[in-house]
Structure 1
Amino acid sequence: MPGIKYEDFLDLDYDPADSELVCDFRIEPAADMDMEAAAGRVASESSNGTWAELQVEGAVTDLSATACAIDESSGEIRVAYPDALFEDGNMAQVLSCIAGNILGMKAVERIRLLDCDWPEPLSTSFPGPQFGTSVREEIFDAGDRPITATVPKPKVGLSTDQHVTVGEEAWTGGLDLLKDDENLTDQDFNPFADRLTESLAARDRAEEETGETKSYLVNVTADTRRMLERVDMAAEQGCEYVMVDVVTTGWAAVQRVRERCEKHGIAIHAHRAMHAAFDRVPNHGVSMRVVAQIARLCGVDHIHTGTADLGKLENEDTAGINEWLYSDLHGLNDVLPMASGGLHPGLVPELVDRLGTNIGVQAGGGVHGHPDGTHAGAKALRAAVEAAASGEDIESKAEAVPELATALEKWGTETPR
């Protein structure tokens, strides 16, 4: 057969098959490249090509990716990947293709994976979420309002007793979830086993006091063996959730946690720490939209997706990401988006207006920084969420909830930095 060349990976008349994974990239070609040459190299390097022209016996071109669309004005290209390129249920291998060597190629100055259209054969080889947005009803009976969560602050340094006290004050103040932060795992000042046991005892007391279901997002992040042990411990203690730092621990490990969580019937809360290493620079890396897609396929039930530019962190199309997380994906369950990062009660009405009520709302400093403490801060956040969900003016709600009035006096509706 003739040699395989870069131009063999470019066909702008090609119509991708339904079974193919189709990826959208934005690229800036190197100085000596035009868009077509760079697009061909992206398709080549991410499938079965290489820098040298090859002489290969037998038909391997049916495994070639095809650059099938180019928009010169936006710099966006579309690449279709045959299903046979991928190993079923192996996210590490999939990402090595579509977000691997191509991110470092000299043929492009910058390249960003913007979006993926996941076909049925590949999608259904992954489990997807066990619960998804149904946690709002199945665990919390939250009705039409967002579920609420908080992280004890400071995020590390509290003793187990301090951590538990903060959690109990938040739960009895009306919040649904207590969450570990991303860098709290099993340190000497707050050991995992002690924190788990004592927090769940406080949860039980809070449930008895409030008559509401409460739960704890305990951070099990570690090497895979220890994570699975911690998932087992959480299940044995009657916890409904675990939390995983999904980017730092790696998708293969997340997949193993998903298997173990299904065995126990517990949900996964995904913290996205380190995502900005891939998505913050707008013209390079991997978009948060794609990170969220990967998380859904691997089976998380919640994931942080930002605050629609209302909080302290950079955001990227939070509403669009959330819409995708709710969308049909060949029968896989959806995912509950969590809004977090610099939120306080005064921002909740605008947050719900932008994102709707099928979300989780998490505030750390916006609860514990309340002038009257965590319990009052929790009451203020819960009142703000209930007002926004019912369409009640937050100022009117504050007339009946003094803790909310105090929060509005302190923070107003300003976005923190």
Structure 2
Amino acid sequence: MTATLRATYLIETPLDPRKVAEVMAGEQSCGTFTRVEGETDALRERARAVVEAVDALEDVAQPGLPNAFLERTGISGTGGTGGTGGIWHRARVRIAFPCGNIGINLPTLAATLAGNLYDLGEVTGMRLERIALPWAYRNHFELPRYGIAGTRRATGVPVGALVGTILKPNVGMSAEDTAALVARLCAAGVDFIKDDEVCANPVHAPLAQRVPAVMAAVRSHRERTGKQVMVAFNITDETDAMRGHADLVEREGGNCVMVSLNWCGFSAVQTLRRHTGLAIHAHRNGYGAMSRAPLLGIGFQAYQTLWRLAGVDHMHVHGLQGKFAQPDAEVIESAHDCYTALASDAPASAPDDLVMPAFSSGQWAGTVPATWEAVGRDDLLFMAGGGILAHPDGPAAGVQSLRDAWQAVREGESLALAALHAPALAAALRFFGR
């Protein structure tokens, strides 16, 4: 396999960034801190990663992260020693990796692009920002089974945003109570319902009881109305248990499961994808620990690239003007990442590998205009927990307020004007906009 993939990093170092980039390339391919026996020129030509670009950014007077190696060696920054003073250089580095070093192996791909680099003694900042894959490599990995188009077909929503919600209270309800709430939400008109990430297989509502009870409510609604509501059951668990849970969902007529990606791992999600044809709703809880520090961790473009190779169908991006820490610009960029094919050189005949972004966290009718303006399309799951369940006129009015808002923005009408002939929207603006 002679193709190469490319990774872009943000680094901070007191040393020459060009020399540090070469250390990175060697460390993550065929080298170490010194040349070793057997590391021939021919081997290096075949297997060594190549530094393609080092773009200097700003210099700073203080390091972003502590570094015992630099302290031991007395290096604190260009022009300074002994742990105080000096200059730290920031740079953006692009490295090309031979795909043949990695093979069709997602965990090893992650280890290569985001492994020991974080521990290098030469850096006080390291962040994997972007991954670019050739189609010849991407094509060997899993594709979404539903993605955007399939999710629309499964829910019967050919146009418009899919209105979804999260079961609340998060935990504590029995299987019967959960099913009753699902029946109420189905009647309210939602397209999508998901478990909370902290509710998987609790003793008070085990999946063995909850899935049949909930799906009975979903089937009853479908028989009355013809509408199949998609329910993402949280089956996060060890691998064999997840396969069993997915089988149960499928037997009961469900079409979606949810997984907490970071705690299950690449191999488990790949195994689940190959085992089931259900949609996989990918929940990224814990991603903040990997992303919030600007000079550490992994950016969403790189993160979602790795998980899309596992074949997920939906990716959480948080929500605009929401309750979490991410700036709106990051949410917007994350959504566009989901709409972008992983391989820019994919042939026209290649299957679609786009995934549906899931907007959540503090969403209600009032955040719809910002979402529409930023994204420019409604191929998304717009999920409101409190925005539906806490609407003063009940969940049905909460759902209607969201639909009213989406209709208004699609027609270029302000929410205030639309509210004059949309009472559910008017009530939402009064209640949530206080």
- Same fold by TM (over 0.5)? yes
Equivalent residues of 1:175, 1:382 under 8 A apart: no
Which residue of structure 1 aligns with residue 75 of structure 2? none
Aligned partner letter, 2:8: D
Aligned partner letter, 1:359: L
Which residue of structure 1 aligns with residue 299 of structure 2? 287
Which residue of structure 2 aligns with residue 222 of structure 1? 237
* C-alpha deviation, 1:372, in angstroms: 3.1
Identity rate of aligned residues, in percent?
Answer: 28
Which residue of structure 2 aligns with residue 365 of structure 1? 386
Q: Which moved more, 1:269-278 or 1:152-161?
A: 152-161
* C-alpha deviation, 1:210, in angstroms: 4.1
CA distance in 2, matches of 1:126, 1:390: 40
Equivalent residue of 1:93, what SS? helix
1:128-176: CA deviation from partner (whole Å, max 9, x where unpaired): 2122110343112313201111111221222223222222222211110
* C-alpha deviation, 1:193, in angstroms: 1.8
Cα distance 1:314–1:407, how it changes in 2: closer, same or farther (>3 A)? same
CA distance in 2, matches of 1:386, 1:165: 29
CA distance in 2, matches of 1:23, 1:95: 11
* C-alpha deviation, 1:96, in angstroms: 0.7
Aligned counterpart in structure 1 of residue 276 of structure 2, from 256, 261, 264: 261
Aligned partner letter, 2:384: A
Cα distance 1:60–1:36, how it changes in 2: closer, same or farther (>3 A)? same
* C-alpha deviation, 1:390, in angstroms: 4.1
| Correspondences of 1:239-250 after superposition (within 5 Å) | 239-250=254-265
Aligned partner letter, 1:63: A
CA distance in 1, matches of 2:384, 2:147: 21
Q: Which moved more, 1:188-197 or 1:49-58?
A: 49-58
CA distance in 2, matches of 1:53, 1:389: 61
Cα distance 1:398–1:50, how it changes in 2: closer, same or farther (>3 A)? same
CA distance in 1, matches of 2:274, 2:405: 37
1:366-385: CA deviation from partner (whole Å, max 9, x where unpaired): 21222233333233223323
Which residue of structure 1 aligns with residue 420 of structure 2? 399
CA distance in 2, matches of 1:309, 1:407: 16
Aligned counterpart in structure 2 of residue 378 of structure 1, from 386, 399, 402: 399
Which residue of structure 2 aligns with residue 14 of structure 1? none
Q: Which moved more, 1:384-393 or 1:63-72?
A: 384-393
Which residue of structure 2 aligns with residue 272 of structure 1? 284
CA distance in 2, matches of 1:216, 1:98: 34
CA distance in 2, matches of 1:382, 1:165: 23
Equivalent residues of 1:140, 1:214 under 8 A apart: yes
Which residue of structure 1 aligns with residue 17 of structure 2? 35
CA distance in 1, matches of 2:234, 2:406: 25
Which residue of structure 1 aligns with residue 248 of structure 2? 233
Gaps of 5+ in 2: 59-90
Which residue of structure 2 aligns with residue 298 of structure 1? 310
Equivalent residues of 1:308, 1:317 under 8 A apart: no
TM-score by structure 2 length? 0.85
Q: How many residues are aligned here?
A: 391
Which residue of structure 2 aligns with residue 346 of structure 1? 366
Aligned partner letter, 2:363: L
1:78-101: CA deviation from partner (whole Å, max 9, x where unpaired): 10101211121x210101111001
Aligned partner letter, 1:54: V
Which residue of structure 2 aligns with residue 46 of structure 1? 28
Equivalent residue of 1:338, what SS? strand
Which residue of structure 2 aligns with residue 193 of structure 1? 208
Equivalent residues of 1:130, 1:301 under 8 A apart: yes
CA distance in 1, matches of 2:2, 2:426: 54
Equivalent residue of 1:108, what SS? coil
CA distance in 1, matches of 2:229, 2:410: 20
Aligned counterpart in structure 1 of residue 135 of structure 2, from 120, 134, 148: 120
* C-alpha deviation, 1:57, in angstroms: 5.7
Equivalent residues of 1:86, 1:93 under 8 A apart: yes
Aligned counterpart in structure 2 of residue 169 of structure 1, from 184, 187, 200: 184
TM-score by structure 1 length? 0.88
Equivalent residue of 2:258, what SS? strand
